[in-house]
């Protein structure tokens, strides 16, 4: 199957490869913070991330500085895309395919509990991630990942749009870390700081 036009790239937008997002950013939804693109940093042009349209979406009255409930997230296609993208990231970049069970536990916790899985340090999400960090440290003597690295990666991306409280968007705006926070945090979080 050959790709002749941007609609043909839609199936590849969520892939870790940047090609589809770089060539067809509109088709891939680079300008939509609720699209759930985990790999936004590769391929999505800065113009999409700083566009007026994106800022309007983040300023929408329906996008509050409040975590969405698991039921609300289940009907958000972007949430499923983000969780699926995180799974791909973990399998390819962090843990490898040998840790498929642990990866499924982490992403399953997000699907079941939503934002509370990120916020609650006793959740399966945290327990499994801490196991990954500790096992790496035991095996190598050092750990390239810290306990906070995964959440930082998630919250500097689409998870902040769905879980602004768990991702501490108000603090991100308060600390003037407006770069990545402004790409995903609802604007109402900045207003809450003022």
> 91-100: string of b/e by CB count within 10 Å (b at 16+)?
beebbeeebe
Per-residue pLDDT at 79 exceeds 90: yes
* DSSP-assigned letters across all residues of 116-181: HHHH-TTSHHHHHHHHHHHHHHHHHSS-SS-TTHHHHHHHTTTHHHH-TTTTTHHHHHHTT-HHHH
pLDDT more than 90, % of the chain: 44
> What phi and psi values does residue 28 have, to the nearest 5 degrees?
-80, -10
Retrieve residue 135's tokens. 């096992």
For residue range 169-191, list pLDDT tens digits in order. 888 766 655 566 678 999 888 87
Res. 166 pLDDT band, cuts 50 70 90? very high
Q: What is the pLDDT of residues 2-32, one digit of tens each?
A: 678 899 888 889 888 889 999 999 999 999 9
The C-alpha atoms of residue 158 and residue 13 are separated, in whole angstroms, by: 14
Q: Do 32 and 55 contact (CB within 8 A), yes or no?
A: no
40 compared with 145, residue with greater pLDDT: 40
What is the band of 111 on the pLDDT scale with cuts at 50, 70, 90?
A: very high
SS3 45: coil
- Mean pLDDT across 68-89: 93
**Alpha-carbon distance 118 to 137, whole Å?**
22
The predicted model gives 120-147 an average pLDDT of 76
């Amino acid at each position: 199957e050959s790709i002749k036009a941007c609609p043909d790239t839609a199936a590849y937008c969520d892939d870790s490869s940047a090609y589809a997002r770089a060539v067809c950013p509109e088709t891939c939804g680079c300008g939509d913070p609720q699209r759930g693109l985990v790999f936004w940093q590769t391929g999505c042009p800065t113009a999409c991330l700083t566009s007026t349209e994106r800022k309007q979406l983040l300023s929408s009255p329906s996008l509050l500085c409040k975590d969405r409930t698991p039921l609300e997230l289940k009907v958000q296609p972007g949430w499923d895309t983000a969780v699926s993208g995180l799974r791909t990231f973990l399998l390819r970049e962090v843990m490898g395919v040998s840790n498929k069970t642990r990866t499924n536990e982490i992403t399953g916790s997000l699907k079941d509990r939503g934002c509370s899985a990120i916020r609650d340090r006793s959740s399966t999400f945290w327990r499994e991630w801490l196991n990954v960090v500790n096992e790496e440290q035991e095996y190598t003597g050092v750990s390239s990942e810290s306990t906070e690295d995964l959440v930082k990666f998630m919250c500097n991306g689409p998870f902040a749009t769905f879980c602004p409280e768990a991702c501490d968007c108000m603090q991100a705006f308060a600390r003037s870390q407006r770069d990545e926070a402004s790409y995903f945090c609802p604007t109402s979080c900045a207003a809450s700081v003022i």
